[in-house]
Structure formats: structure tokens, C-alpha cells
Amino acid sequence: MMQRQHKGRRVLRLALLACCLPFLTYGPPPAHGLEKYGRPLPSMDEPNHETREEEETLFGGYLLTGAFVKNPTFAARPDNTGLVGMRHMLHLETDLYKQYLTFYTDQNFFSDRTNGWITLSEWDATFAFTGVIDRFNWRLQYEHDAPLDRRGLKQAYADALVTARFQATQDFTWWRRTFPNQNLTAYAGAGWLFHNSQYFARPNNTGRALFRYVAHADLDLYKNKVVLYADTNLFTDREANNTLNPTELDWIVGIALRWKDTELAFYREEDRPLDQAGLVQKYYAVQLRFAFDVSKGAMERVGLRR
């Protein structure tokens, strides 16, 4: 347990809190408040326990919609036909046991800009468990990619991934002094695709992926409202002579602007082979995300939970 006393700012904090006292001290002491996903919750006292539980988050998620504003080569189906026009995604997640065990799913849909932009051409479904142990994150994921508007190639894999995290404000004291409103968060790790059904090792759909190496960095420019980010994902080929040698590099750079539960992002992705010449898939996209959470009480009110 880490207890941080910001002594240098205590006087200011006390003055500010004094202004809030009428609000903070409302009700019989001792009083407790709880806020999850930005929503205030009622007292944690036992007499009100049922009320508190009713307002706890059952699951959270976000809706994403994006337009590939420039896309010369990023395919709209697993068999590399078409070109993506629009992308829509639903993300749902729930904590099963604190931060140690979380379940999430992504339902990801693409449309083909060569077929009118609206009709969906691909559905990628992901189901995963994830958790945190100190600086380490683990993930167990299954993904299934299939065409929607015609019969064709389907891909699936299951992988295990472990990453280690770095946070500048926590790991460098000089960072917090120099950049009080900025932060740099990064993680890197490796994964193993222990099940692979036609999940390829290069953008031109050759080879079969075996390992993945990932690295990600978020440069928080201002209080998590303006964030520059970069992400890389490398695959190796289980059919290659050296199965540890990367055969594909996927990279993304972007900037995200966040306001409350909404995010507007502009980013570029490029997927290229590393061990031979071949198809490079790339695009520029703009996307919106809207986050939400559903409380236990809300589910009861619509009759879906007792």
C-alpha cells in the first residue's frame, strides 16, 4: 500500500477542501464516498450497502467509429480483397477480481470503400482475459476474423502475452518536477500464438505467425487530454528457418484528444514484411470513441438482473 502525502501542497489543499466541507461533511460521520468511471456513488456504510452495490459498475466499454480517410492498400477482408472505408467497434469489459482478472471482448467491423463504404465486409471478434501483477500485465486472447459479405478465408488464433510497464512520473522523480502535467507511459513484451488457424506472418498472407513482440508508448502532453501515442507489433513465422526472427512489422502513430468520455484520434498505420519484399498495407484514419459504463442497478431496472 502506498500512502502519498503531498506535504508541499497541503496548505493549498486544505484551503480548497475547506471550501468543499459543506459537501464533504454532509450526512452522519463517518461518511464515505466512492466514484467509479467518474460517477459519484452513495455512502459505503453498511445500512446503505444495497444502494451502493446497485450503483456499482457492472461493465464498461466504448463504441468506436472511424473513417480511413486515405487508404491505398489496407484490405477489407481477411483474404486481402477490397479496401477498408469505415471501421466500427464495440468494446466491453468487466473486472472479475480487482485488477488481477478482467474479461473483455471486441467486436470489430470493417466496410469496403470499393463497395459503397456502408456494407460491412469483415467481422473480427476478440475475447480475452487480462490482469496486472505489479509492473507486469498478462493477457490470454482468442481472435476470429471472417468476411461478412461473401464466403472466403477465415482466420483465428489464440495467444498469451506478457508485457512490462514503465511510467516516467513514477520511475523518474526529476520527470514529475520538470513536467508536472505530462507523463510518458510505455510497455513492451512478447507473446506466443499457441493456436493458429491461418493467421499469417506477413501482410501478403504468407507464413503462419508464431510469436509476437509488442511495444507501446503514450506521451501525455496535457493531463491525459492530449496524448501522442506509438505502437509496434512484430510477428514471427513458424514456417521460417528462424522462428524467432520477425517477418512482419505493424506500426501505428497517432494523436488523441480526450474530453470526458469522448476521444477523437487521428493516426496512421503501416503493416510491412521484414524478411522479403511484398505487400505493404497502410492507411490514415480518424476515429471517435465514446466510453460508457452500465451499473448493476440499471440492469435491474430494465429487468435483466435481480
Partner 1 sequence: MLRYYKEAPLLEESMVGSRSSRPTVHHGCWATVLLRNERVDQVGYRFVPNSVDASNDCEAIFANCP
Q: Which residues contact 177 (CB under 8 A, 6 or more apart)?
A: none
**Smallest distance from the beta carbon of 195 to partner 1, in angstroms?**
16
Q: Of 65, 73, 81, 130, which lies in the binding site for partner 1, with binding defined by CB under 8 A? A: 130
* The only residue of 97, 115, 121, 145 in contact with partner 1, by rule CB under 8 A: 145
Q: Are strands 262-273 and 136-147 parallel, antiparallel or unpaired?
A: unpaired
Q: Minimum distance between the CB of residue 293 and partner 1, rounded to whole angstroms?
A: 7
Measured from the CB atom, the residue of 112 and 293 that comes closer to partner 1 is: 293
| Sole binder of partner 1 in the list 76, 86, 104, 121 (CB under 8 A) | 104
- Cβ proximity to partner 1, 130 vs 204, nearer residue: 130
| Cβ-based nearer residue to partner 1, 210 or 294 | 294
Residue 231 binds partner 1, judged by CB under 8 A: yes
11 part of the interface to partner 1, by CB under 8 A = no
The interface with partner 1 within residues 181-220 (CB under 8 A) comprises 183, 185, 187, 214, 216, 218
Smallest separation (angstroms) from partner 1 to the CB of 202:
15
Cell of 255: 494523436
Binds partner 1 (CB under 8 A): choice among 143, 159, 237, 248: 143
Q: Of residues 60-99, which lie at the interface with partner 1 (CB under 8 A)?
A: 60-62, 64, 74, 89, 91, 93, 95, 99
Q: What is the DSSP string of 85-141?
A: EEEEEEEEEEEEETTTEEEEEEEEEEEEGGGTSSSEEEEEEEEEEEEEETTEEEEEE
DSSP string for residues in 189-236 = EEEEEEEEES--SSTTS-S-EEEEEEEEEEEEEETTTEEEEEEEEEEE
Considering only 80, 81, 115, 137, the residue that binds partner 1 (CB under 8 A) is: 137
Binding of partner 1 by 295 (CB under 8 A): no
Under 8 Å between Cβ of 123 and 133: no
Shortest CA distance to 268 belongs to which of 120, 89, 73?
73
What is the per-residue binding string for partner 1 in 247-276, x denoting contact by CB under 8 A?
---x-x---x-x-xx-x-x---x-x-----
Among 38, 47, 116, 303, binds partner 1 (CB under 8 A): 38
Q: Check: CB of residue 102 under 8 Å from CB of residue 129.
A: yes
Q: Which is nearer to partner 1, 133 or 244 (CB)?
A: 133
Dist. CA 270–CA 128, nearest whole Å: 25
Regarding 149 and contact with partner 1 (CB under 8 A), the answer is: no
What separation, in Å, do the N-terminal and C-terminal C-alpha atoms of the chain show? Answer: 35
AA letter at 44: M
CA angle (128 as vertex; 124, 131 as ends), nearest 5 = 145
Is 12 a binding residue for partner 1 by CB under 8 A? The answer is no
